[in-house]
Amino acid sequence: MAQLAPWLSIITDTTGSEHAVLSDGWRRIRIDVSAGSLLGEGPVMLHYDVAGVETAIAPLLTLRRLLHLCRYRRFGRALFPADRRMDRWLSVLRTHDALADGASQYEIACALFGESRIDREWRQSADALRSRVRRMVREARHFAGGGYRSLMRRSDPSP
């Protein structure tokens, strides 16, 4: 475990189970400890439980990520594909910040899409940009109210 120390954080949950996260700030590998402890002085034995073909994909990807980190001392970019929704989540986060600062939907639209585009399209009959901003406002409020937890479950391929 010493070789992984620069990336390692260990927490114990309310049931006493340990969870290890290896992260460089952008990518992460989560390991759930089912028996024993990572906090002891002795060596640690990793044991992987994979039950069936259908459930094997995510655990095997996590194992490949861990093996790459152990072998090359860096996170393998190819093993962490970019989330296609990242731009959307960043826009929703910016929308939340703007709402917290008291911005109007028009001001949010200008910040997200640029003033020149908003001047051209904001009052058109199609109303597409206004609807888009309204959806982002609704989504930002939903995530701020606890909906962000669903992102953690959906995007985490670790077991």
- pTM for this model (two decimals): 0.59
The residue assigned the tokens 């028009």 is 106
Cβ density class 58-67: b for 16+ within 10 Å, e for less: ebebbbebbe
d(CA 43, CA 138): 49
Question: Would you say the C-alpha torsion 121, 112, 78, 53 has a positive or negative sign?
Answer: negative
- For the chain, state the CA radius of gyration: 21
Domain boundaries, the chain: 2-79, 86-155
Residues of the chain with pLDDT under 70: 1, 125, 151-159
Residue 45's contacts (CB-CB under 8 Å, 6 or more residues apart) are: 36
For residues 22 and 7, is the Cβ–Cβ distance under 8 A?
A: yes
The tokens for 113 are 């899409």
pLDDT of 148: 81
pLDDT of 1: 62
pLDDT of 31: 87
For residues 45 and 98, is the Cβ–Cβ distance under 8 A?
A: no
For residues 102 and 70, is the Cβ–Cβ distance under 8 A?
A: no
Among 101, 115, 105, which Cα is nearest to 138's?
Answer: 105
pLDDT (tens digit per residue) in 114-150: 999 998 888 876 788 899 999 999 999 999 998 887 7
d(CA 41, CA 14): 23
